[in-house]
């Protein structure tokens, strides 16, 4: 009996010690995790350094696709690994985008970076300013692909000051999703989404029913795409000019737009207060949200939740219809001195018609090569046929590759939106305050 007690006691102590190691501020586990990851990256690197041409090449790729699209990506990579005749094997390392943004710069600085990484377009300029990426100008000549087959503004998104630093992996706008069943229940035509901002407001009010915990149109205050850019731009307002480093936020149009958003949120209560992007996506997939503006990644969740949904462009305003565009691109850290050609092989594979079509059909992301856009399967697919014509509405949020973009976005713009949608602050004061913060960021960066 005493022996059994001793055994149980020592097992419990062991468990306690292990859990204590885990909970000691997560820092301990984080350092061990990053230690093993950098170790595997260095192992991969040393394996490639000793390889001679023709022998197996091992590449590492870091990305932030933690959702179901990450699984599809890994599947495609595995297919590449088994089908390519150059002996190239790629290992994909998936981590959250914010974790990637913290690990990659230090990895490049300490020479433990992967051979390739996938980065969100808006985050690339700061890497270029710090000389962390290498030019990919020679890609088109070495791959032999026809550059004119690809949509020009998508390719341009990876070109900074005339040099190609990123090759597109995917491209997307944000789209207005609407729940057709809720439209019918509210007496609206389920096949006709709102085309203007005024209609959006009108429909949102009709779709809101607080007794059923049902909301008309979600307006998150953080953690979502910058849907409000469409509202400001489409009403004729501008936000800031990063080439001349001036704030353009303080204008009558923008104050009116902000007041319109505030009214919808606080008075008409069409959106849950203080919602995050994740909250809005959860409501939409649960069928409790009438309309929401989000990226194509929502499509998988809506299909899984059996929501009968439609997809179209965010509504036009009085002065036009622009939609913020986003892209994710392949980049090569400067530390990748030996495997550039092998990486180009994979990027060429990715840009082939078959893979681009597969990614578009499975994920709902728009195709961006003319041959795929003309493909009959794409043209028949209900989602692809709805979103392909919308590509021309795309407008870059950071057209001049301003390196401190996230400071503008997170220190000035989002706090203004949050204050407007959750408090009764006067739109004029909030706009003036945000404009001043924009000027502070420009002054310091």
Partner 1 sequence: MDNNLTKKKKLKSPNRVVWLFLAPSFLFIIVFNFIPLISAMTISTLDLTIFMKNVSFAGAGNYIKVLSDLRFWNSLKNTMVFTLMEAPMQIGLALIVASAIHQNTRFRRLMRSFYYIPVVCSMTAMGILWSILLDPTLGYYSFIFKIIGIDNALFLKSPSTAILWVVLITVWKNFGLTMMILIAGFQDIPYSYYEAAQIDGASAGQSFRYISLPLLKPSLAFCIITVIIDCLKVFDQVYVMTQGGPLHSTETAVQYIYQKGFSIAPFNLGYASAAAEILFLIIAFVTYFLFRSLNRKEAVEY
Return residues touching partner 1 (CB under 8 A).
Answer: 16, 19-20, 22-23, 25-26, 98, 102, 105-106, 108-109, 126-127, 130-132, 213, 221-222, 272-275, 279, 282-283, 403-407, 410-411, 415, 418-419, 422-423, 445
Least distance CB 207 / partner 1 (angstroms): 15
Least distance CB 166 / partner 1 (angstroms): 17
Q: Which is nearer to partner 1, 92 or 405 (CB)?
A: 405
Q: Which is nearer to partner 1, 17 or 392 (CB)?
A: 17
Write a three-state SS string for 114-145.
CCEEEEEHHHHHHHHHCCCECCCCCHHHHHCC
Least distance CB 26 / partner 1 (angstroms): 6
Q: Which is nearer to partner 1, 164 or 422 (CB)?
A: 422
Task: Bin 291: left if φ > 0, else alpha if -120 < ψ < 50, else beta.
Answer: beta
List, in sequence order, every residue forming a beta bridge with 333; answer none if it has no partner. 133
Q: Which is nearer to partner 1, 101 or 205 (CB)?
A: 101
Least distance CB 102 / partner 1 (angstroms): 5
CA distance 249 to 12: 60
Q: Which is nearer to partner 1, 411 or 439 (CB)?
A: 411
Q: Which is nearer to partner 1, 55 or 211 (CB)?
A: 211
Q: Which is nearer to partner 1, 92 or 207 (CB)?
A: 207
CA distances from 414 to 20, 407, 410, 417, 430 (A): 37, 10, 5, 5, 11
Q: Are 353 and 369 within 8 A, CB to CB?
A: yes
Q: Which is nearer to partner 1, 23 or 46 (CB)?
A: 23
Least distance CB 226 / partner 1 (angstroms): 15
CA distance 112 to 106: 8
Q: Are 232 and 257 within 8 A, CB to CB?
A: yes
Helix (H, G, I), strand (E, B) or coil at 9: helix
Q: What is the CA radius of gyration of the chain?
A: 24
Least distance CB 107 / partner 1 (angstroms): 11
- HSE-up of 360 (CA within 13 Å, CB side)? 29
DSSP per-residue letters across 304-315 = HTT--EEEEPPP
Q: Are 286 and 298 within 8 A, CB to CB?
A: no
Burial, 122: exposed, middle or buried (Cβ in 10 Å; 0-12, 13-18, 19+)? buried
Q: Are 88 and 342 within 8 A, CB to CB?
A: yes
Least distance CB 271 / partner 1 (angstroms): 10
Least distance CB 97 / partner 1 (angstroms): 12
Least distance CB 18 / partner 1 (angstroms): 10
Least distance CB 274 / partner 1 (angstroms): 3
What are the helix and strand counts (H, E) for the chain?
21, 14
CA distance 331 to 382: 32
Q: Which is nearer to partner 1, 155 or 416 (CB)?
A: 416
CA distance 202 to 187: 12
Burial, 404: exposed, middle or buried (Cβ in 10 Å; 0-12, 13-18, 19+)? middle
Least distance CB 29 / partner 1 (angstroms): 9
Q: Which is nearer to partner 1, 263 or 418 (CB)?
A: 418
Q: Are 194 and 315 within 8 A, CB to CB?
A: yes
Q: Which is nearer to partner 1, 6 or 109 (CB)?
A: 109
């Amino acid at each position: 009996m005493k022996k059994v007690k001793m055994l149980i006691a020592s097992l419990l102590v062991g468990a306690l010690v292990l859990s204590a190691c885990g909970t000691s501020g997560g820092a301990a586990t984080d350092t061990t995790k990053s230690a093993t990851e950098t170790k595997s990256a260095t192992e991969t690197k040393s394996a490639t350094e000793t390889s001679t041409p023709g022998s197996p090449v091992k590449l590492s790729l870091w990305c932030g696709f933690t959702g179901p699209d990450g699984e599809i990506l890994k599947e495609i990579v595995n297919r590449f690994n088994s089908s390519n005749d150059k002996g190239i094997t790629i290992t994909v390392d998936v981590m959250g985008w914010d974790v990637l943004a913290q690990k990659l710069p230090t990895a490049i600085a300490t020479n433990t970076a992967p051979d390739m990484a996938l980065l969100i377009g808006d985050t690339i300029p700061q890497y270029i300013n710090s000389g962390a990426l290498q030019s990919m100008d020679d890609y088109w000549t070495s791959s032999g692909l026809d550059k004119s087959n690809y949509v020009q503004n998508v390719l341009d998104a990876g070109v900074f000051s005339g040099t190609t630093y990123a090759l597109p992996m995917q491209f997307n706008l944000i789209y207005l999703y609407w729940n057709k069943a809720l439209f019918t229940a509210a007496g609206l035509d389920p096949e006709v989404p709102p085309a203007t901002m005024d209609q959006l407001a009108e429909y949102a009010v009709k779709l809101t029913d607080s007794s059923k915990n049902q909301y008309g149109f979600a307006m998150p205050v953080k953690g979502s795409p910058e849907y409000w850019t469409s509202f400001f731009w489409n009403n004729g307002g501008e936000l800031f000019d990063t080439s001349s480093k001036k704030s353009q936020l303080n204008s009558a149009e923008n104050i009116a737009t902000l007041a319109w958003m505030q009214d919808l949120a606080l008075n008409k209560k069409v959106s849950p207060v203080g919602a995050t992007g994740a909250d809005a996506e959860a409501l939409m997939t649960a069928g409790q949200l009438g309309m929401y503006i989000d990226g194509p990644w929502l499509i998988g969740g809506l299909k899984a939740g059996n929501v009968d949904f439609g997809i179209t462009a965010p509504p036009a305003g009085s002065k036009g219809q622009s939609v913020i565009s986003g892209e994710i691109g392949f980049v090569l850290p400067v530390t990748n001195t030996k495997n550039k050609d092998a990486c180009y092989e994979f990027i060429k594979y990715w840009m082939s018609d078959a893979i681009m079509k597969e990614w578009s059909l499975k994920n709902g992301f728009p195709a961006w090569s003319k041959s795929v856009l003309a493909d009959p399967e794409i043209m028949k697919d209900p989602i692809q046929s709805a979103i392909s014509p919308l590509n021309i509405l795309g407008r870059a949020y950071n057209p001049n590759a301003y390196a401190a973009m996230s400071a503008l976005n997170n220190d000035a713009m989002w706090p203004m939106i949050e204050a407007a949608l959750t408090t009764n602050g006067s739109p004029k004061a909030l706009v003036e305050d945000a404009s001043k913060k924009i000027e502070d960021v420009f002054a310091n960066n």
